[in-house]
Amino acid sequence: MTTAVLPAGYTARSPVPADCQAIFALVSAYNTAVIGSADCTLADITNGIVDPGFEPRTDGWLVFDRDVPVGYGTAFGKGHRDVTEIEVLSRDAMVAGWLFDRSLRRAAEMGREAGHAEVTVDSYVYRADASLRALLSEHEFSTGTTFNRMRIDHTEPVAAPDVPAGYVVRRGMDDDQARRIAHDVIIDCFRGQFGFVVRPHEEWLEAREAYANSSWSQFTLLELDGKAVAFRDCSDRDVEIENCGHIDGLGVVESARGRGLATYLLRDAFALDAAAGRAGTILHVDTNNPTPALHLYQSVGMRPTLVIEGWRRTMPATP
């Protein structure tokens, strides 16, 4: 791996919570240049820095030209640190190259420290971001999947759907047992999908508690004969920018698929968002999902508004 260098006079240091506003401004400007909107909130930035799985001192880099932030990068180790998600953001090619170098080295280091011979590195990029896609390709990444951002607008009241016969709706995870069940269902639904790595339960709980836009009151389970078989997790992530509800996750366990449970959970979310005065509902779907999720979302009136690619590289964890 070649060693990239920063332009003369540039400096870098680890981010701290006090940097969140500056990082937010940097990310917003970058995204606006690429896709025409900020697609980011201050809470998004804060959530990333306070996440218990992220150690800013070793896993983040904020680059300055004099006192002006010009680049930001992170390496987020997942699970047993055999998978790392990296983010690199700078409009300066030399800075972006330096951040890629640092993030890949940190990914290898985390894997090595955990005893792995190799690590998988994932990165997510807007399809419209030609420069970042080229940089990923230069670093031997290849596309692993594509995500569509889906949206439906609520211009009038939405009728609440009937609960599927025989099922019980459970809203809000108010105790430790309910939250354990919620986590287990998420794992059952998403295991094996691109980018999903099981988090230790306590770390998952701590992360949810730290996220500014999440609340247990927006977590919904469907139960059959006392067993949870489907879930929907919503947040206020898109309220600030677009006055929309956001579905962070939706899944049905394999044994209960094909019964209309996902359709019910979607229509239920639409009705709740419309009643709350939201302009619409937004979610992201992996187009390579083992279930026909994209077709499902289109069938209930959602439309794609943005394409994000998931890129991946597996590399040795050796120095």
Element (H, E) at 240: helix 239-242
Mean pLDDT calculated for residue range 248-277: 97
Average pLDDT value over all residues in the chain: 95
10-140 and 150-306 share one CATH topology?
A: yes
Q: Which residue has the higher pLDDT, 288 or 229?
A: 229
Residue spans per domain, the chain: 10-140, 150-306
Tell me, rounded to whole angstroms, the distance of Cα 3 from its chain centroid. Answer: 29
pLDDT above 60: residue 219: yes
**150-306: which CATH architecture?**
3-Layer(aba) Sandwich (3.40)
The DSSP bridge partners found for residue 119 are 315
Element (H, E) at 297: helix 293-299
Q: Where are the alpha helices (DSSP H) in 55-129?
A: 56-59, 93-113
Cα end-to-end span (Å), the chain: 9
How far apart are alpha carbons 216 and 170 in whole angstroms?
Answer: 11
The per-residue pLDDT for range 148-190, each reduced to its tens digit, is 999 999 999 999 999 999 999 999 999 999 999 999 999 999 9
pLDDT above 70: residue 1: no
How far apart are alpha carbons 146 and 285 in whole angstroms?
Answer: 8
Mean pLDDT calculated for residue range 249-258: 95
Neighbours of 18 (CB within 10 A): 8
Say whether 4 sits in a helix, a strand or coil: coil
How far apart are alpha carbons 23 and 301 in whole angstroms?
Answer: 35
Tell me, rounded to whole angstroms, the distance of Cα 269 from its chain centroid. Answer: 19
Say whether 73 sits in a helix, a strand or coil: strand
The per-residue pLDDT for range 86-118, each reduced to its tens digit, is 999 999 999 999 999 999 999 999 999 999 999
The per-residue pLDDT for range 209-218, each reduced to its tens digit, is 989 888 999 9
The per-residue pLDDT for range 23-56, each reduced to its tens digit, is 999 999 999 999 999 999 999 999 999 999 999 9
pLDDT above 70: residue 294: yes
CATH topology for 10-140 is Aminopeptidase (3.40.630)
* pTM value surpassing 0.85: yes
pLDDT above 90: residue 289: no
Q: In what order do the strands lie in the sheet with 244-252?
A: 10-13, 60-65, 68-78, 83-89, 118-126, 303-316, 142-153, 280-286, 244-252, 227-235, 214-224, 167-171
Mean pLDDT calculated for residue range 267-281: 98
